[in-house]
Amino acid sequence: MKKVAFYTLGCKLNFSETSTISRMFEKKGYQKAEFTDRPDIYIINTCSVTENADKKCRKVVKEARNISPDAYIAIIGCYAQLKPKSISEIPGVDAVLGAAEKFRLIELLDGFIRKPTPEVHATEIQNANSFSNAWSLHDRTRTFLKVQDGCDYSCSFCTIPLARGKSRSNSIGNVVDDATAIGKQGVNEIVLTGVNTGDFGIINGERKEYFIDLIKALDHTPGIKRFRISSIEPNLLTDEIIDFVAHSNKFVPHFHIPLQSGTDQILKKMQRRYLTDTYISRVKKIKTMMPDCCIGVDVIVGFPGETEKDFLDTYHFLNELDISYLHVFTYSERENTLAATLPGVVEIKERNRRSKMLRSLSEKKRRFFYESQLGNIKEVLFEQEVKDGLISGFTDNYIRVSTPYDPMLTNTLCAFRLNSIASNGEFVEGEEVVINTGYQPNNATLT
């Protein structure tokens, strides 16, 4: 029985796909192993979002080869699709599989026998036009369920359409079946993932269904207590979606909404499909309907042409918004993107300075949000990991709560009073409270 280990770089979507490929190996009789357990096979799932993709891939390959010198090493994922030849030239790589081939790797690599030269299976991205089901299981308490893949947008900084192809989706019926099957595995929370999740509904190149209809159907899934939307574009986050989540018993009050820049001038250069007034209206609508809702924001600093004034306008825009945290990305040039050809390149040192300022703002925003929730009693879904004698989990509105480790808490929903913020500001210290009533709607604070 050959042992296989997996390593995933990048997003929740990548994690869902790695987990699914892992189960494919186990069904074929392979034994899943830890990265350091001298496996016979390594499967490395790559990301292409930043310029560090090549460096990270090389580092993981080198480490794998050091641990298990004779292991078979296969590289899959977005970076594998974009740079198959370059990856095949990395010392120690045995195979590279693109977007259309990664779910067929057991079939294509025929026993994982090392050959004198690396195998490359990566067709043009136009051939990646089918949807492959994927979800994570047993890797974390929450399950990441893939509902959509690819993207039809043309943001000037992004390589994802080149790495994953056109927008395509599963059907509502299949997603509900997947969610039901996941619920039978004892999972309490599902996170809906995709490249452009809100664009759900394109099947075989045609618009057949809509995201709002998907979440309405999932709201009746047996077994699952919570659904969380991983990320959704502001132009696709409609009033109807917000209204539904506000009154749903299972969809939690947490939105992650990419912004990227707080100035219309830069948004236009980025070729985003909205301007700042749309973003403001989305945040106001959410907070009107769900005052305790957590709102996360993606933002890019150092985009070509971003002046100091542009950056400060973005900083002040974010500071004034009623949001909860930021994911800050330092712009990096990507080949074959329009942004890489634009004038006004921002120096790396300056990009890093701006990133640091926004990360500091994120810490302040998160702390302010946490403080607004102190004293509330909320349902917490506890994770499996234990750190410094503490077990932690998340409330419906994405507050990390920690308490002294108790094995009985793992993967359970328990009512906790939010007492105080930890000195590092990363989590809230909670105290379990016995509630006589049954499970409460996620959008309600328990009293």
pLDDT at 53 over 80: no
Of 52 and 385, the structure prediction assigns the larger pLDDT to: 385
pLDDT tens across 210-232, in order? 999 999 999 999 999 999 999 99
Model confidence at 177, pLDDT cuts 50, 70, 90, reads very high
pLDDT at 160 over 50: yes
Token pair 């234990």 is found at 386
Mean pLDDT in residue range 190-208: 96
Class of CATH domain 3-127? alpha beta
What is the per-residue pLDDT across 108-139, written as a single tens digit (0 to 9) for each?
A: 998 999 999 999 999 988 888 899 999 998 76
The percent of residues in the chain predicted with pLDDT above 90, rounded, is: 86
Mean pLDDT of the region 337-364: 97
Is the per-residue pLDDT at 243 higher than 80? Answer: yes
Average pLDDT, rounded, for the chain: 93
Residue 140 has pLDDT above 80, yes or no: no
Least confident residue range of 243-252, 288-297, 437-446: 437-446
- DSSP E strands in 357-447: the ranges are 377-387, 390-395, 400-404, 413-421, 428-432
Confidence of residue 50 (pLDDT cuts 50, 70, 90): low
Both tokens assigned to 5: 């280990």
Mean pLDDT is lowest, of 69-78, 136-145, 238-247, 398-407, for 136-145
Highest mean pLDDT among 40-54, 125-139, 184-198: 184-198
Predicted confidence (pLDDT) at residue 237 exceeds the cutoff of 70:
yes
Mean pLDDT of 392-419: 94
Note the pLDDT of residue 56.
87
Reported confidence tier of residue 52, pLDDT bands at 50, 70, 90: confident
pLDDT at 447 over 60: no
DSSP H helical segments within 130-210, as ranges? 160-164, 172-183
Q: May I ask the CATH class of domain 374-432? A: mainly beta
Q: Find the mean pLDDT for residues 291-300.
A: 98
Specify the pLDDT at position 385: 84
Place 444 in a pLDDT band, splitting at 50, 70 and 90. very low
Gap between the Cα atoms of 264 and 273, Å rounded: 11
pLDDT range class, residue 435, cuts 50, 70, 90: low
Q: What percent of the chain has pLDDT over 70?
A: 96
Mean pLDDT of 144-156: 96
pLDDT at 438: 47
302 or 141, higher pLDDT:
302
Q: How confident is the model at residue 128, as a pLDDT?
A: 84
pLDDT above 60: residue 439:
no
Residue 325 pLDDT > 90: yes
The token pair at 382 is 């506890």
Separation of alpha carbons 403 and 428, rounded Å: 9
| C-alpha separations of 188 from 81, 183, 217, 294 in Å | 34, 7, 17, 20
Domain locations in the chain? 3-127, 143-372, 374-432
Say which residues have a Cβ less than 8 Å from residue 96's Cβ, sequence separation at least 6.
74, 75, 76, 80, 84, 87, 88, 118, 119, 120, 121, 122
101: helix, coil or strand?
coil
Tell me the HSE value of 155 on the side-chain side, using a 13 A CA sphere.
23
CATH fold match for the domains 3-127 and 374-432 = no
Task: Name the pLDDT band for 446 (thresholds 50, 70, 90).
Answer: very low
Q: What is the pLDDT of residues 15-34, one digit of tens each?
A: 999 999 999 999 999 999 99
If one looks up domain 143-372 in CATH, what number appears? Answer: 3.80.30.20
pLDDT in tens, 409-425: 999 999 999 999 998 88
Residues 392 and 429: their CA atoms lie apart, in Å, by: 9
What is the mean pLDDT of the segment spanning 34-45?
96
